[in-house]
């Protein structure tokens, strides 16, 4: 049966759908652009835990963003299916972003020489930020009302959103800012020293991508928070799909660019200052990136 839709926030629903379609298009476009790199640089390598994590975080958006969004808009689904798909998509969003962060953490630890104390500090920092996000998302689902209609393009949608999810993005922003600082410190030291590492392409690949990508993610999360707090709660998930695919795309580029450079330069040593002395290729291979 069709719901009573006199309350329907049509503009918000349509705008959310537009952003989801745009995000799906961006993801598919990037997937096609980098597919040959992935086939040549990643697929032939031996199976490791990091490789599995990479493939999961890379291809989960194909399910939770592209396929699910298509079903919501064009599929003939009942209310139970609508609710199940919506919740599954949200949890897949969060799980995919968590897997992306695992890879970014490994990259950060590698540039610090896999420092044991840093391992512990980042683990505690991660748990302090990530566990509350999962708890907040669980409570956020309880505020939603799910609707299934026969209107084309509105077969499945939610209303009753709250501003509660700004807390999730705030924690994500704090977390990414912390890792941005950790990747920026050795980058700044090497740049200031002007040593061999600064002149190498691997320096640019590792540190340029590391710093710039985290800046992009932090900026996107900050914009998301501002929109959530200043717009109607109907727009609370406006940038969620965009941010979700951004994590997958940027993380995938980090891995592929490192592997591409490692392939071109079989042995590259980074003479890092102070106690951060690592052989770049060995460190990144041992980390599985």
Tens of pLDDT, residues 76-98? 677 777 778 888 888 888 999 99
Q: Which two tokens stand for residue 90?
A: 């949200």
Instruction: Output helix, strand, coil percentages for the chain, rounded to the nearest 5.
Output: 75, 5, 20
pLDDT of residue 59: 95
**CATH number 1.20.1070 is the correct assignment for the domain at 10-287:** yes
pLDDT at 270 over 70: no
How many other CB atoms sit within 10 Å of the CB of residue 80?
A: 10
Closest by Cα among 247, 84, 107, 97 to 179: 107
pTM for this entry: 0.83
Confidence of residue 10 (pLDDT cuts 50, 70, 90): low
Beta-bridge partner residues of 146: 158
Q: Work out the mean pLDDT of the chain and round it to a whole number.
A: 79
């Amino acid at each position: 049966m069709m719901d009573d839709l006199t309350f329907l926030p049509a503009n918000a629903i349509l705008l959310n759908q537009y952003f989801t379609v745009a995000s799906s298009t961006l993801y598919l476009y990037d997937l096609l652009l980098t597919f040959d790199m992935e086939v040549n640089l990643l697929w032939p390598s031996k199976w490791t835990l990091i490789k599995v994590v990479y493939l999961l975080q890379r291809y989960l958006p194909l399910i939770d963003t592209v396929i699910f969004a298509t079903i919501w808009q064009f599929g003939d689904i009942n209310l139970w299916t609508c609710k199940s798909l919506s919740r599954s998509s949200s949890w897949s969003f969060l799980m995919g972003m968590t897997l992306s962060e695992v890879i970014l953490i490994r990259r950060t630890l590698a540039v610090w020489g896999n420092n044991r104390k840093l391992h512990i500090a980042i683990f505690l920092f991660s748990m302090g930020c990530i566990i509350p996000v999962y708890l907040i998302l669980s409570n956020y689902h309880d505020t939603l009302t799910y609707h299934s209609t026969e209107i084309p393009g509105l077969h499945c949608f939610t209303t009753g959103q709250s501003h509660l999810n700004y807390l999730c993005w705030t924690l994500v922003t704090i977390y990414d800012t912390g890792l941005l600082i950790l990747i920026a410190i050795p980058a700044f030291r090497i740049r200031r020293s002007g040593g061999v590492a600064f002149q190498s392409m691997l320096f640019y690949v590792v540190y340029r991508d590391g710093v710039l990508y985290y800046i992009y993610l932090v900026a996107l999360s900050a914009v998301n928070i501002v929109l959530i707090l200043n717009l109607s709660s109907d727009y609370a998930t406006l940038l969620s799909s965009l941010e979700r695919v951004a994590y997958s795309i940027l993380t995938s580029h980090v891995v592929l660019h490192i592997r591409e450079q490692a392939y071109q330069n079989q042995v590259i040593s980074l003479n890092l200052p102070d106690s951060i002395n690592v052989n770049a290729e060995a460190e990144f291979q041992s980390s599985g990136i």
